[in-house]
Chain A
Amino acid sequence: MAKDKKSVRLDHISKIYQDPKTGKDFYAVKDVNLTIEPGSFVTLLGPSGCGKTTILRMIAGFESPDEGEIYLDEQPINALTPNQRDTAMVFQSYALLPHYNIFDNVAYGLKLRKMDKETIRRKVVDILGLVGLEGMEDRMTNQLSGGQQQRVALARALVIEPGVLLFDEPLSNLDAKLRVSMRTEIRRIQQEAGITAIYVTHDQSEAMAISDQIIIMKKGLVDQIGDPHGVYYHPVDEFVADFIGETNFLRGTLESKDGDAGVARIEGCDVGVEGVSHLSVGACMHRGAPPGVGDPGRQRRPAVQGGAQPVHGQLPELPRARRRDHGQDHRLQPQEQENLRGGGERLRAVRDRRRARDLRAAGGLRANCRECMNSVGKRGLSRTFRTRVHESLVHSRTKRVPSRRGAPDCSEAPRRCCRDSSYT
């Protein structure tokens, strides 16, 4: 349908805002480089305030970048006003024109393009069919449900056949169930229309489900770019690992290594890890662990692949390392960090003794049992105590692999645990 899919390229884009309280300037977006291929569905994902909407609004032309240039099909568009740009945006609040009916709303852009009445009518009817709103042309916008309004907004954006379609958290005003069905719908329509789409959201499951490519942003910077599978299984840092899916972090020290693989000591256990080529032996490290069935519907993180297959170990982040001393938790001094690098002292995690006692009283944990181990997921235990369950981590295995469309959505009911743990 779209006459031409366009590529978008952001070249060293920065945007500076003024803090309204302190009056200081800060980077809302800093030195962002992106290339978005024609026809692809790209999601900007990040917590609120990370600059993703600012990027979208800069592409649409509502904001101007302070540094860098934006290209649409290799044409610089920095100086173009929003109405001159070949983009169309779907707004969070739908932003339908309340004094027009559905037909006029969708026809608005076409009328501005001075098309004749017959063409407009045909196109509007076609597009309303595509979004599933046949026969609603004469309704007023306030006679529609939220989901229907969002479809009109989508139709209105699609009908002008833009080079790039922009979505600004379009589903955040809908209820949970509708969100899931609408995102599939948006993906279907985008595929049928074959249009380049840039989608902003803070909902990671939405991003996983809908995108060809996910751009994870943090504080105005691009943290990681990759397909859903990639960012899920191979997070580049703790932030991404934490933001995508549900993750537990285990801390330990690297005992030995051989190229990319190595052995880490976590709470007295040796665990095989991978991705440690950049660490020196003795470094403190984190490791992702699966959350439990205690959180049905959450995504199980497959970062831990079990004993035979080494864990994806990560994050040397030495300044984060802590030392337990006289009951106090100390941040390590630079000298101590050096000692660690030297491969000597092992870090002890702070232990939640009460939790440990409770757990023992409940009958302990059975190694080899995934459900059991899952039960001591993020919810059941404090972060530090999780290190106690190392054995099970080694044996636990998450079999489900996300489909291309995204991660497992875990809508299946939690399976019964082999024993009745009080921590489910």
Chain B
Amino acid sequence: MARNQSTALDRKKLMADPVMVTTIVVLIAFLTLFILYPLAILLVDSFVTKDGVTLSVFERIMSMQSFTTAITNTLSVGFFVGIVSALVGLLFAYVEVYVRLKTKFMGGLFKVVSILPVVSPPFVLSLSMIMLFGKAGIITRYLLGIYDNNVYGFWGIFVVQSLTFFPVCYMMLKGLLKNIDPSLEEAARDMGASRWKVFTSVTLPLILPGLGNAFLVSFIESIADFANPMIIGGSYDTLATSIYLQITGAYDKEGAAAMAVVLLCITLVMFIVQKYVLEARSTATLTGKASRARMLIADRSVTLPLSIICSVIALFVVLMYICVPFGALFNTWGYDFHLTGKWFVQMFTKYSGLQAFRDSFVLSLIAAPITALLSMIISYLVVKRSFRSKGFIEAVSMLAMAVPGTVLGVGYIRGFSGGLFHTGVMQGLYGTGVILVIVFIVRSLPTGTRSGISALRQIDKSIEESAYDMGADSFTVFKTVTLPLIKDSFLSGLVTAFVRSITAISAIILLVTPQFLLITVQINEFASKGAFGLACAFATVLIVITYGAVLLMNLAMKRFGTSRKFQEEEE
């Protein structure tokens, strides 16, 4: 049976839609050029030397003691961070979904915990970790009287990353737990199982794939994380920092490329396991919404210990964030606790803070709408249309999620500093603001696309088909039907892209040229110099900006957002 005719006809119909064809072509070109090509060039760089295709570069880096240590370091940190984040995330999710929380205070804490990682720059916790537990840390030195506590190294990274990534697991697992039909557990209770037995025999098996998923997600995040190991790692190198040092310190671009390939392989394997094995299973077991409200656990013997543990962790996280603005207000952290505004003043007068904020702000502001629009277009194409290269577009935009920022940064250096394939074509791109904006876009695209896809899946396909049938072309359908229907998702994508861009560091730090001052790069610089006052001042302003953006988004959603109403209707 030949399906040639329908294929030919579908292509013909597609061609009759020039806007659609142009969009697809531009998208494919963009994805190939800025995601696939930089990764490909890394492979080429690390395998092809003057003597042809060899493994000599890999042999060289593998013989470096520091590199092999970095691999084991990265994997062990990632492993423990993954486990702890998933478990703490599960605890929080369980308490929120299953336990009756009496006080408003607890609810507020949970909300703060879920929003903090969204708005904060990725390495703020490292700063406060040092300020609280370092040699001059308030807790270690002044409360406990320990004078030579060493936070740098494995434990520092482990604690900071666990605290940074567990909220992500918490949000993921919360969704899963909410989708468990309460009658399953009620049935088990009814047959005589104790609460603990219900948890171990019903709840836990149901969310086990989801738990594995959460573990891998934080594992990947931890491996890809650059800023925290950079600030608090000390001599404890991870892959991301080794690559950075290899390229900025040793000027060994081939070696860095090969290291990047190693890092990429690790994250890619985990990403594939996570995406295609665990994610599919974790949603397959739990379909649909809970049929009715869950009977919350009100038993004090359960609620009290659980809420105390959660409160302690949450308060600790909050404390760490509070540290940041205070760090900027004291004369010298750890020695001279006189309030001062000098760091803020110096930031703007001496260290061109204004320019840093302007550059970061403007570049992110340019990147955000492009990212949001692109991710909505991609999700529209992936969910609602069928054409040949759809699989490619979907795969590549998801692939970007698995690529650590450092790897992407090295890829961009190798791919664009000498022009395409080192030929000089498009050489002008490198070192400009354009490439920074592109990096921002590529880094935020997967998150936006993912939320866009899930938003669009909730919309009945026939709504768009009806508009199409009435005589609207693809562009009109997208503009008048799709976009208005996923307005909320678009808005949040916009803000997420902005926040992610303005707090991004890993890829950017490799690509930024002196003509651009970026806040995150400044913070990193001052933090590694030990100028915590300045670093905190920058970080404080950054948190204010991002938090302002999120507030603005919530306001805008309340004002213009209509999607919520449709969703209710769908139900």
CB pair A64 B469 closer than 8 Å? no
Given contacts A64-B9, A65-B5, A65-B6, contact A97 B481 (CB under 8 A): yes
Residues of A near B472 (CB, < 8 A) are: 83, 108, 112
* Chain B 9-22 interface 0/1 with A at a Cβ cutoff of 8 Å (1 = within): 11011001100000
Give Cα A97 to B485, complex, Å: 9
A310 at the interface (CB under 8 A from B): no
Say whether A25 contacts B463, CB under 8 Å. no
Q: Does A294 contact B (CB under 8 A)?
A: no
With both chains docked as a complex, state the minimum distance between the C-beta of B18 and any C-beta of chain A, in angstroms: 12
Q: In the complex, which range does the number of interface residues on chain B fall in?
A: 35 or more
Interface 9-mer from B188-196, B214-222, B561-569: B561-569
Complex: A108 Cα to B481 Cα, angstroms? 11
Interface string of A90-108 (1 = CB under 8 A from B): 0111011111000000001
A353 contacts the other chain (CB 8 A):
no
Task: Look across to chain A and name the residue whose beta carbon is closest to the beta carbon of B8.
Answer: A64
Binary per-residue interface labels of chain A (59-75) against chain B in the complex, 1 for a CB within 8 Å, 0 otherwise: 01111111100000000
Give A176 Cβ to nearest chain B Cβ, in Å.
Answer: 23
Which DSSP category, helix, strand, loop or mixed, fits chain B's interface?
helix
A64 to B453, CA, bound (A): 25
CA distance A89 to B470 in the complex (A): 8
The smallest beta-carbon distance between A286 and chain B, in angstroms, is 34
- 1/0 per position for B457-495, CB-CB distance to A under 8 A? 000101101111111110010001100110000000000
Alpha-carbon distance between A2 and B568 when the two chains are bound, in angstroms: 37
Residues of A within 8 A of B60 (CB): none
Q: Does chain B have a CB within 8 A of A84? A: yes
Most B C-beta atoms less than 10 A away, residue of A97, A141, A160: A97
Give the contacting residue for B3; candidates A16, A61, A98, A160; CB below 8 A: A16
Please judge, given known A-B contacts A65-B5, A97-B481, A98-B566, whether A81 and B466 are in contact too, CB under 8 Å: no
State in angstroms the CA–CA spacing of A99 and B472 once bound together.
Answer: 16
Residues of B near A141 (CB, < 8 A) are 569
Interface members, chain B 541-571 (any A CB < 8 Å): 562, 565-566, 568-569
Check A109/B470 contact, CB under 8 A, given A25-B3, A66-B6: yes
The docked-state distance in angstroms from the alpha carbon of A141 to that of B476 is: 21
Q: Which single member of A87, A89, A99 contacts B562 (CB below 8 Å)?
A: A99
Q: Min CB distance, B391 to chain A, in Å?
A: 15
The distance in angstroms between the C-alpha atoms of A16 and B562, with both chains bound, is 40
* B293 close to chain A: CB less than 8 A: no
Partner of B460, one of A93, A108, A160: A93
Docked Cα-Cα span, A62 to B472, in Å, equals 13
Distance of A66 Cα from B470 Cα, bound (Å): 25
Whole-angstrom distance between the Cβ of B187 and the nearest chain A Cβ: 31
Given known A-B contacts A79-B12, A99-B485, A62 and B465 have beta carbons under 8 A apart = yes
Closest to A67 in B: B5
Asked whether any CB of chain A lies closer than 8 Å to the CB of B284, the reply is no
B133 to chain A, nearest CB (A): 52
Is residue B144 contacting chain A, with contact meaning CB distance below 8 A? no
For residue A80, CB closer than 8 A to chain B, the reply is yes
Known: A97-B481, A99-B562. A66 touches B3 (CB 8 A): yes
- Of chain B, the residue at the smallest CB distance from A90 is B466
Contacts of B1 in A (CB 8 A): 16, 25, 27, 66
CA distance A142 to B481 in the complex (A): 16
Are the C-beta atoms of A97 and B462 separated by less than 8 Å? no
User: Do A84 and B470 touch across chains, with their CB atoms under 8 A apart?
Assistant: no
- Hey, what's the 0/1 contact readout for B236-272 against A, CB within 8 Å counting as 1? 0000000000000000000000000000000000000
- Chain B residues with Cβ below 8 Å from A16 are 1, 3, 6
A87 / chain B contacts, CB cutoff of 8 Å: 469
B16 touches A84 (CB 8 A): yes
Does A156 touch B at the CB level, under 8 Å? Answer: yes
Which residues from chain A contact B484 at a C-beta distance below 8 Å? 99
The chain A residue with its CB closest to the CB of B12 is A79
Task: Report whether B462 and A92 are in contact in the complex, using a CB–CB cutoff of 8 Å.
Answer: yes
A25, A83, A97, A109, most chain B CB atoms within 10 A:
A83
Closest chain B residue to A27 by CB distance? Answer: B1
Task: State the CA gap A27–B562 with chains docked (Å).
Answer: 42
Cβ–Cβ < 8 Å partners of A81 in chain B? 13, 16-17, 468, 473
User: In the bound complex, what is the Cα–Cα distance between A84 and B469 (angstroms)?
Assistant: 8
- Judge whether B395 is part of the interface by a CB distance below 8 angstroms: no
Q: Which of B140-161 contact A (CB under 8 A)?
A: none
Contact of A156 among B13, B462, B470 (CB under 8 A): B470
Closest B residue to A166 using CB positions: B469
Q: Known A81-B13, A92-B462, A99-B566; judge A60-B471 contact (CB<8 A).
A: no
B17 touches A64 (CB 8 A): no
Interface centre among A87, A93, A99 (most CB of B within 10 A): A99
User: What is the CB-to-nearest-CB distance from B214 to chain A, in angstroms, rounded to a whole number?
Assistant: 29
Q: Which of A78, A79, A89, A142 contacts B466 (CB 8 A)?
A: A89
A60 touches B469 (CB 8 A): yes
- Is there an interface contact between A82 and B481, defined as CB atoms closer than 8 Å? no
* A63, A65, A112: most-surrounded residue (chain B CB, <10 A): A112
Q: Does A15 contact B (CB under 8 A)?
A: yes
Given A64-B13, A79-B12, A93-B462, A112 contacting B2 (CB threshold 8 A): no
Residues of A within 8 A of B7 (CB): 64
Give the one of A25, A98, A141, A156 with max B CB within 10 A: A98
Query: A160, B470: Cβ atoms under 8 Å?
Result: yes
**Across the interface, do A95 and B471 meet the contact criterion of CB distance under 8 Å?**
no
Residues from chain A with Cβ under 8 Å of B4 in the complex: 66
A113 within 8 A of B: yes
Complex formed: what's the CA distance from A16 to B568 in Å?
A: 37
Contact B10–A66 (Cβ < 8 Å): no
Separation of A79 and B12 alpha carbons in the complex (Å): 6
A113 pairs with B471, CB closer than 8 A: yes
What is the CB-to-nearest-CB distance from A297 to chain B, in angstroms, rounded to a whole number? 32
Interface pair B471/A160, CB less than 8 Å apart: yes
Within 105-129 of B, Cβ neighbours of A (below 8 Å) are at none
A93-B470 Cα distance, complex, nearest whole Å: 16
Q: Are A64 and B473 in contact, with the CB atoms below 8 A?
A: no
* Closest chain A residue to B483, Cβ basis: A99
Query: For the complex, what is the distance from the CA of A79 to the CA of B462, rounded to whole Å?
Result: 21
Interface string of B47-64 (1 = CB under 8 A from A): 000000000000000000
- When distances are taken between beta carbons in the complex, the residues of chain B under 8 Å from A160 are 470-471
The answer to whether A112 and B566 have CB atoms under 8 Å apart is no
- Write out the residue numbers on chain A whose beta carbons fall within 8 Å of the beta carbon of B473: 81, 83
A142 contacts B565, C-beta separation under 8 Å: yes
Contact residue among B10, B16, B471 (Cβ-Cβ distance under 8 Å from A64): B10
Determine the distance from Cα of A99 to Cα of B17 in the docked complex, in whole angstroms. Answer: 25
CA distance A189 to B122 in the complex (A): 63
Q: Of A91, A108, A156, which is within 8 A of B465 by CB? A: A91
CA distance A80 to B5 in the complex (A): 14
Q: Does A88 contact B (CB under 8 A)?
A: yes
How many angstroms between the C-alpha atoms of A99 and B2 in the bound complex?
A: 42
B471: contacting residue among A66, A83, A97, A153, CB under 8 A: A83
CB-CB nearest in chain A for B566 = A98
Other-chain residue from A63, A80, A89, A113 in contact with B469 (beta carbon distance below 8 A): A89
Q: Which residue of A lies closest to B473 (CB)?
A: A83
Nearest chain A residue, comparing its CB with the CB of B570: A98
Q: Smallest distance from the beta carbon of B250 to chain A beta carbons, Å?
A: 51
Residues of A within 8 A of B468 (CB): 62, 81-83
Determine the residue in chain A with the shortest Cβ distance to B476.
A112
Cα–Cα, bound, A244→B224 (Å): 64
How far, in Å, is B224 (CB) from chain A's closest CB? 35
> Can you list 9 contacts pairing A with B, beta carbon distance less than 8 Å?
A79-B16, A83-B470, A84-B16, A93-B462, A98-B485, A108-B470, A108-B480, A142-B568, A142-B569
Q: Which 8 A-B pairs have the closest CB atoms?
A: A64-B9, A109-B470, A95-B466, A95-B462, A64-B6, A91-B462, A98-B566, A66-B6
Other A-B pairs, 20, CB within 8 Å; known A81-B473, A98-B566: A27-B1, A61-B13, A62-B468, A65-B5, A66-B4, A81-B13, A82-B468, A84-B16, A89-B469, A92-B462, A95-B466, A98-B569, A99-B484, A99-B485, A99-B566, A108-B470, A108-B472, A109-B470, A156-B470, A160-B471
